[in-house]
Chains A and B, each alone.
Chain A
Amino acid sequence: MVGTAGARLSAVDLRKGAPMGFLIGALGASLIFGMVQLANDPALFFQTLMKSLGLGSVYALIALGFVLIFKATQTVNFAQGALAATGALFLAFLVQKRSVFTEGESVVERAGHIPFTNISNPLDNLGGPQWVHWSLSVVVALAFAAVVGLVVERLAIRPMIGEPLFSVAVITLGLEIMFRVFNNDAVEIELRPIGVPWKLDGFRVGDAFINWSFVAAMITAAAAFVAVYFFYRSRLGIAMRAVAFDQEAAMAQGINVGRVFAIAWAAGAVLAAIGGIFATQPPVEQQISVDQSTANIAFRALPAVILGGLDSVTGALLGGLIVGVAEIYAGQYAAANTSWLGAGYPLIVPYVVMIIGLLVRPYGLFGTPEIERV
């Protein structure tokens, strides 16, 4: 008795047509809507497009971390948000100017002293332009994040090889809860600036204002995806795919499954940390500082992963971009006549998009359907 997931559910085929029609209708409507808006105000449309692609790139980066870990260990890492906040916090601690804090100041007084613009870096002694220091700090922070990923993998995930996949996922939920407490505690009640050189600056194209952070996110995402593309063609990448396909068979072929796990987690943690750094900048946040909500970026990016398919790198990229575009455009153009939707409604647009997408394709746009045998 062999059947694909689709054939298995043939009894409920009735529900298949409606969502597909709905999806095509929604796509057509948004296309027409987009054309109208483009004709109305091209500058605003272009600005929104760049903003949404920036957000989509951030989502895609986080989603790529999810996919890397999923492809190696077959589990969703719910602690990705905590890892993102941890990485960004490392950076904040590296670039923070500590001398402004005097002994005995209360936390509230200290909060007033946060240097938002002045970057003072332990690496300042090196001399040279500040963005060099900042880039070096980023590298160090990412290395820290990788170490955290390795430690977590070794302590909590490695003992679970061969256990049910959902158990591993719930372990990462437990880790997320623990990490969050420590992160929030490290943030205290103030903001932790991460000293991004381009701050809130941007440039103008015609009437459209585009933040440098949008461009930076896009370039980083492009670089990350190219790197992962080549990585999967390397010897280690092929080993990783083999492990994802069948742990036991891979082990029998002489692949060190533990090491593959470790590398996937380190890479996932680094991608999470990069995402965390971008999660403090526009278009996600405006304050360029780590705070207690930074860790939420992973839960905002989850729809992108699911929409694209948990095991597809292409899916992560396209899912991230689709979700980002949907969120920003919904926020930009629907705001005027939707006061009943309440503040912050764009944040749940990704989840709505995800649910509609899953109605049409239960394994995501590019995900591999599970083939089941009795």
Chain B
Amino acid sequence: MLGRPRLYTAYRQEAQLLPTWTQKVICTLFVAVLFLLPFELPVISHIPLVRFLGDNDWMRPMALMMVLAIAALGLNLLAGVAGQVSLGHAFFMGVGACAAVYLGGSSGEETWGHSLPIWIWLPAAGIVAALVGVAVSPVAVRLRGLYLAIVTLGLVFLGIHFGNTSWGRKIAGPPALGREFPGLDVRLWKEETPLINVEDDGHWLWFDVTDLQKRYLFLLVLTIAFTLVAKNLTRTRTGRALQAIRDRDIAAEVMGVPEFRYKVIAFAVSSFFAGVAGALFSALSQRILATDFGLFLSVEFIAILLIGGAGTTSGTLIGTFFVVMVPQFVEEFTKWLDRAEGGLTEQLARFLLTEGDDFGIINTAIQTPGWTLSVFDWNIVLFGALIVVFLIVEPLGIFGIWVRVRNYWKRWPFSY
């Protein structure tokens, strides 16, 4: 089959996880690099991008990326595969985080908690979120398109307000302060020394690992597991039913796909992913804050899908990398410019940077209200601009660009 990658002689063959040998090899290498990335190794540490992504400072955004990837995969199942665009993904993340902190957090005068280990609170976060998703779906199934988007947007506001109620305060802590979240340590029950210590520096196998690296590796394993689940789901009967509903819901129903049941399933699975991701999201920052799970986070997932390419697993992962890392790159680039001395870079720095009194676009002073935005503000502007530009220029996202490039070389030297 090496010369004819598109020749399928059986359905099994077409539905394979990685149909071609090239994909198998590249995927294996890619996963291996992801695992070895944090360590100082002879070859891996010299690949251009990997070289600094493996730095300890970059482990935090990398770990955040893993968490957001899980949530984005969930939204991809709902919005990309089943075509039900939801702006309420952050709400389900918040539900998961609340369930997790209720089970895993410590109880006190102002807070409720049961101090249970991670193997209880992490699945529970997903299950509770999935149940809430099922509870919401009777409303959601009746609505379509923009009505659905706005109702799910309403869920986000209801969720944030939950942080203000007396129950919400007990679970998620005071509205502005939040509450300490249990770490990722794996315990068998409530014992002192954890079974797998993820929160402190230590020694795994024959490597010294910092706490950030540990969290990254822990989340990487989870992300790979969830990617497999998501990918497998799309190539089973359920996945095909969801795609049929996305492409034309009435036609799907005529062909015998029970629309209601499959939409509920889509909501449940997507919320499960979101719930787990929400719990991990709070665990990563070790603090749950109700206002974190707001509209901006929801839009971030929509942006991930649009930029990466909706409906495709690999596109979702690429989109997550893009959305999480581009702001980091911009920040890093600004810092690098600020330090630049002599030559073209200093001229560029003089043009771009300012400390509030001279010409420039990016303000590097600490307190920066007023014109000349800080890097953080520019990153938000860039985020909004990326959404707009991608939708206007390349609606299929980075995955679409990749498909075009691939097809060009596949047909080369012919143009079609």
Q: Chain A residues in contact with chain B, CB under 8 A?
A: 1, 3, 5, 8-9, 11-12, 15, 75-76, 107, 156, 159-160, 163-167, 169-171, 173-178, 180-182, 185-186, 188-189, 299, 302-303, 305-306, 310, 339-345, 347-348, 351-352, 354-355, 358-359, 362-364, 370, 372-374
Contact = CB atoms under 8 A, between A and B. Distances in A.
A374 B371 contact: no
Given A181-B373, A344-B161, A374 B251 contact: yes
Q: Interface SS of chain A: helix, strand, loop or mixed?
A: helix
A9 B138 CA distance: 11
B141 interface: yes
Contacts of A167: 306, 391, 395
A348 B392 contact: no
B169 interface: yes
Contacts of B388: 156, 171, 174-175, 178
18 contacts: A166-B145, A171-B388, A173-B299, A174-B391, A177-B381, A177-B383, A181-B384, A185-B373, A188-B370, A303-B154, A339-B166, A341-B165, A342-B163, A342-B168, A351-B157, A372-B250, A373-B250, A374-B251
Given A12-B141, A177-B299, A177-B383, A76 B150 contact: yes
Interface in B133-150: 138-139, 141-147, 149-150
Top-8 shortest CB links A-B: A342-B164, A174-B387, A177-B384, A178-B384, A351-B154, A342-B165, A188-B369, A340-B166
Given A160-B392, A174-B384, A351-B157, A165 B146 contact: yes
Interface string B49-87: 000000000000000000000000000000000000100
Contacts of B306: 167, 170
Q: Interface SS of chain B: helix, strand, loop or mixed?
A: helix
Contacts of A302: 150, 153-154
A355 B148 CA distance: 10
Contact of A171 (B146, B251, B392): B392
A368 to B, nearest CB: 12
A188 B385 CA distance: 22
A166 B150 contact: no
B402 interface: no
B381 A178 contact: yes
Given A167-B395, A358-B147, A372-B250, A11 B165 contact: no
Interface residues of B, number: 54
B276 interface: no
B238 to A, nearest CB: 19
Interface in B227-255: 248, 250-251, 253-254
B157 to A, nearest CB: 6
B158 interface: yes
Contacts of B144: 5, 370
Given A8-B250, A351-B154, A374-B250, 11 more contacts: A9-B142, A12-B260, A159-B392, A165-B145, A173-B299, A173-B387, A176-B384, A182-B381, A299-B295, A351-B158, A355-B151
Contacts of B303: 174
A15 B138 CA distance: 8
Contacts of B145: 165-166
Nearest to B163: A342
B143 A358 contact: yes
Contacts of A175: 384, 388
A351 B160 CA distance: 12
Nearest to B250: A374
Contacts of B373: 181, 185
Contacts of B143: 358, 362
Contact of B147 (A180, A182, A306): A306
A343 B141 contact: no
Contacts of B168: 342
B141 A354 contact: no
A344 B164 contact: yes
A176 B150 CA distance: 15
A342 B166 CA distance: 6
Contacts of A359: 139, 142
A364 B254 CA distance: 27
B250 A177 contact: no
Contact of B161 (A185, A188, A347): A347
Interface in B360-411: 367, 369-371, 373, 377, 380-381, 383-388, 391-392, 395
B30 interface: no
A280 to B, nearest CB: 20
- Residue among A75, A182, A343, A351 with the highest chain B CB neighbour number at 10 A: A351
A3 B259 CA distance: 15
Contacts of A355: 139, 151, 154
